[in-house]
Amino acid sequence: DTEVTQTPKHLVMGMTNKKSLKCEQHMGHRAMYWYKQKAKKPPELMFVYSYEKLSINESVPSRFSPECPNSSLLNLHLHALQPEDSALYLCASSRKGLAGGASTDTQYFGPGTRLTVL
């Protein structure tokens, strides 16, 4: 089983709203990721959690706030977003967690949340 689930599937929000995206995996994976993807472009890494600790923040604006309550769950809290933040937000997980150097760890993606900011 390589399933990563995400809710909601679609989200429409105003620029003053606060909302959250949720991601869950039950594969015992120790690394979880948030990506942002614009139409017909590859995913862009936003955040990485390894063993429930934030390991990488790719200079993401503070209006995006990640949270990892436990090893199976990953949230992305949204506040005061801009229309250009509209995109497909993807969660992914991998087994081993981050390691330095040339370590590799296959990532499995969820179905994504289609976010529209009005």
In the complex, the residues that contact other proteins under the rule CB under 8 A are: 2, 4, 6, 31, 40-43, 45, 48, 56, 88, 90, 92, 94, 98-112, 114
User: In terms of DSSP bridges, do strands 31-37 and 44-50 run parallel, antiparallel, or are they unpaired?
Assistant: antiparallel
Measured from the CB atom, the residue of 56 and 80 that comes closer to other proteins is: 56
Q: What minimum distance in Å lies between the beta carbon of 90 and other proteins? A: 5
Measured from the CB atom, the residue of 79 and 108 that comes closer to other proteins is: 108
- Which CA distances in Å does 82 have to 38, 91, 114? 14, 21, 15
Q: What minimum distance in Å lies between the beta carbon of 28 and other proteins? A: 17
Measured from the CB atom, the residue of 65 and 111 that comes closer to other proteins is: 111
CA pair distance 55, 99, nearest whole angstrom = 10
Q: What minimum distance in Å lies between the beta carbon of 2 and other proteins? A: 7
Q: What minimum distance in Å lies between the beta carbon of 22 and other proteins? A: 14
Measured from the CB atom, the residue of 20 and 107 that comes closer to other proteins is: 107
**Tokens (6 digits) for 88:** 């497909």
On the CB side of 96, CA atoms within 13 Å amount to 7
Amino acid at 61: P
**Tokens (6 digits) for 49:** 């959690």
